[in-house]
Each structure stands twice: as C-alpha cells, then as structure tokens.
Chain A
Amino acid sequence: MELISPTEFAKEKVLAVQDYVMLSLRSLGNLFRKPLYIADMVQQADLIGVGSLPIVVLIGFFTGAVLAVQTANTLQRFGSITLIGQLVSLSMVRELGPVLTGILVAGRNASGMASELGSMVVTEQIDAMRALGTDPMKKLVTPRVISTVFMLFFLTILSDLVGLAGGLMVSKVLLRLDARQYWNNAWQSLVFQDVFMGLVKPVLFGFIIATVGCFYGMTARGGTQGVGRATTQAVVTASVLIIVLNFFTTQFLMNVLSYK
C-alpha cells in the first residue's frame, strides 16, 4: 500500500468534502432548471420507496414489538404498565422510526446508487452521457435525491405506524392489556413537537442517503474493485452520518421547539 503524506491526505479529504457539498447544492439547484426528468423521479421513487416497503414494514413492526416486550417488565415494576403505548409511540415517532428506516434505506439504496453510478463511471457511460449533451447531475443525481427524500418521509410514517401495531400486538396478546387503552395512550401522548421532529429527520436523512450514495458513485475510480469500495463507503458513511446527524438534529430541535 502506498503511503501518502498527512498534508496530501488532509487536502484529499477537504477536496472530497468540497466536491460533496458542490454535488449536494447542484442536486437541489437543478430543481429550478429544465429539464426536470419527472419520469426518472417516478422510477426512482418506485425503486426506493416501493422496493424498500417490505423490509421497512417488517423491521418497524418487530421494533415496536420488542420495545413493548423489553419495557413491559420495568413498567410493571413501577405499576405503570398502562403507559406502554406512550413509550412505544414516543420512541418510534421521535427516534426509532426515522433512524431505523434511514439506516435500512441507506443499506439498500445508498449502496445501489453508488454501485449503479460507479459502474457507469468506470464504463465511460457518464462521459458518454455528457458527450450526448445530457447533464448527469440533472438526469441521475437530482431524481435520486428528490425521490429518496420524498419516499423516506412516507416510509418513516409507515414504519411508525406498524411499530405502534407491533407494540399493540405484544400488549394485547402477551401482556393482556386493553387495545383501546393502548391506542388512546399512544395517540394522546404525541404532541406537535414529537411529530414535527419525527418528520424533519427523514427529510434530512433522505437527503444524506441519496447525496452520499451518488457522491461515492460519481467519484468511483479503479474498475470493479473501485465500484465495490465506493459501495461499501457509501453505506458506512451514510449510516454514520445518519446516527451523528440524528443527535444534533434532536438537540437542535429540542432547543428550537422549547421541548421538554
């Protein structure tokens, strides 16, 4: 392995961040320039949204269920077992729904984007596209970013809902609690700030997933090995960024919304 000087390494990283920021800004700026490639957006929405639906539903349901199972014992000890609906709904809507859905979609779609675009780069298809007068940023990146943001928003809502259903199943079947009481408790405990926080996060995460996936794809070098590397890096970076950004977003929104 070739060793590079710390200065070169730092320069490379700064340049990569600069390129990423440029790609992100251009992906949004292209929304105001024609053509818009609506058909590509719909196709991507289908691939990202509908394609991710089964795993998001499955993971959401069992996350809500296990949350109920794990907390039931503690709540029972304090005689507050009826609060289980509140606990599941707050956890799912504020944190687990957005983060888990984000990470799942990152694993599935950031990798897909990086490998697809990376393959196009190494086989000169991106150059061919530019040579044929098409801006790859408009044709390939912007539709993926818009579709991911849009679909992750709704996938998260769905994940929250099936998570609550998972909690309900445990409460009803295993804990023998009243289903109406669970739903009332879960529903009434949610306030505007909870829902707002839960819906801002998927928008940010969707943007991160698509831009990171596209960035690693568009900058892939070194043949099939390079594409493989780009795919792995895209998933790791997107997942880490989601976790880190989740903390800062939560902190920021709590301060802004004067949330207790």
Chain B
Amino acid sequence: MVFEDVWLAFDQTEVLRGVSFSLPAGETKALFGVAGSGKSTILKLVLGLVKPDAGRILVLGEDITQMKEEDLFALRGRIGMVFQESALFDSLTVRENVAYRLTEEHGIYDDDIDQRVRESLRFVELEHTLDLFPSELSGGMRRRVAIARAIITHPELLLYDSPTGGLDPVTSNTIIELIMKQRDVYRNSALLVTHRLQDAFTMATHEFNPKTNQLRALPRGQYCDVPMSFLILREGKVVFDGDVRRLAHTQDEYIREYIS
C-alpha cells in the first residue's frame, strides 16, 4: 500500500498535508498522533470511504484515487476493517454480523458459512456468543467480534482503528495478542491506529508463538526481525516513519516528548 503526497481538507480545515508512506506486504504499521492528526482519516482513505483532494493512493496494487464506488466494493472485499467503536450492526446477532460479508456474497447462510463463522469466532475465543446481539456484549467482546468479522474472508490487508481504545489493560492485551496472531500466523499486512504506545512496543518486541498460543519476548537484537514499523503524524504531516530502533534513537524533540 502506498500513499503519495496525499492532501485532504474538510471544509476549511486541512486534515492531511502531503502525507507519503508505504506499507510493504506482511508488515504492520502503527499510526500515532494526537487527536485530530488524521490517523482514522488515513484508514478511511485506504478503504476509499473518503477521497483525497490531491495525491495518489495505491492499495493492493490498484490506484484507488479515481476508482468508481462500484469497483471499490470489489477491492474492499480484500480488506478487513475494525472500526473504532466496533460498528457492529446492532439489529443483527453476532453470527449474522460475522457472516455478513459471506451472506452478501452467497445470498444465503449455509453450512459452509456457519463453519467459517464458528472458525472466525473461535479465533477470537467468542464461539459461545453466536446468538447474542451486540448490545449484550461487553466493549472488549464487541471489538473481538469486529475482528472476527474483519478476518472471516482472510483479507490481504487489515485496518484497525483504535482497537484497544477505552478498554481495560487485560482486554487490551487480549486484542493486541489477536492482532499479533494475525500478523505472525497469517502474515497479513496491517495498519493500526492507536493511542497506546505500549501496545505498539509490545508488538515490536514480541512475537506470537502458535505452538504455545502465547506471546514470546524477543531478544533485544531481534527487534528488527519483526515486520513492524511506526508512523507518527503531526498536524497532518508525517514526522516519523521507521522501525522501533530508529524510533528509540530519534533526536526529534517532538517525537521524544511524544514517546516518553
């Protein structure tokens, strides 16, 4: 995925001012920045939910800048998105929410879809919630269902908008583990918007071990082996784009203050 000099304004307010960065296949990039710096907007741009005023965006090898909405629907089928407040359909059950994309494609809910729904919910350890409505779930469970919904079609690119925002530390760790599981087991590319630096540092210094089903701390010298990078936005501009080692050694005062 590539952003090339992307500009965007809402009314008179410039949200993005010449943002350029790229996300190589299989890498997870954590997006940081103060509130209103344009992090969530970048995710919406990737999905084509918002169009840039200027610049070019390439997603999964396709230029989406001039793409028609009809064509974007097909591309979005290859992308999974976890929204800030989960955005589950409140009139549908967990089963229907997770199966949504598949039932839209196939027209009916059959055994094959049911199996995939259960598989996806098992991944987030919520198989028992199949027939519950989103209002009957806790905040953390809703996020996990949103992850299950996003990964059911095994998308090539995953977008997470503050998946741990407003959650307690234990639930946050569970969510981060799931994101790392996706990264290290399925090798998905991902953009992760977060306010929690510790989450991103955990992701940069640990890897998911599928045998033990737990996180494993990496030795200091292996941090750069993890496909993880950081991007920091300030007033609509990219002020940092690099891995954890570069971030730790940056001399930029704003960034040092931000990560301290």
Our verdict on whether A and B bind, yes or no, reads: yes
**What residues of chain A have their CB less than 8 Å away from a CB belonging to chain B?**
35, 123-125, 127-135
**What residues of chain B have their CB less than 8 Å away from a CB belonging to chain A?**
44, 47, 49, 69-70, 73-74, 76-77, 79, 81, 83-85, 87-90, 100-101, 104-105, 107, 149
Contact B87 A127 (CB under 8 A): yes
In the complex, what residues of A have CB within 8 A of residue B47's CB?
130-131
Which residue of chain B has its CB nearest to the CB of A128?
Answer: B87
In the complex, what residues of B have CB within 8 A of residue A35's CB?
104, 107
In the complex, what residues of A have CB within 8 A of residue B85's CB?
123-124
B49's contact among A125, A127, A134, by CB below 8 Å, is which?
Answer: A127
In the bound complex, CA of A133 to CA of B100 (Å): 10
Which residue of chain A has its CB nearest to the CB of B107?
Answer: A35
Which residue of chain A has its CB nearest to the CB of B159?
Answer: A131
Which residue of chain B has its CB nearest to the CB of A116?
Answer: B91
Contact B83 A127 (CB under 8 A): yes
In the complex, what residues of A have CB within 8 A of residue B105's CB?
133
Contact A132 B90 (CB under 8 A): no
Contact B69 A133 (CB under 8 A): no
In the complex, what residues of B have CB within 8 A of residue A125's CB?
87-90
Given A35-B107, A132-B104, 11 other A-B residues pairs in contact with their CB atoms under 8 A: A123-B90, A124-B83, A124-B84, A124-B87, A127-B87, A128-B88, A131-B49, A131-B83, A132-B76, A134-B73, A135-B70
In the complex, what residues of A have CB within 8 A of residue B70's CB?
135
In the complex, what residues of A have CB within 8 A of residue B89's CB?
125, 128-129
In the complex, what residues of A have CB within 8 A of residue B101's CB?
132-133
Contact A131 B76 (CB under 8 A): yes
In the bound complex, CA of A125 to CA of B146 (Å): 12
In the complex, what residues of B have CB within 8 A of residue A127's CB?
44, 49, 83, 87
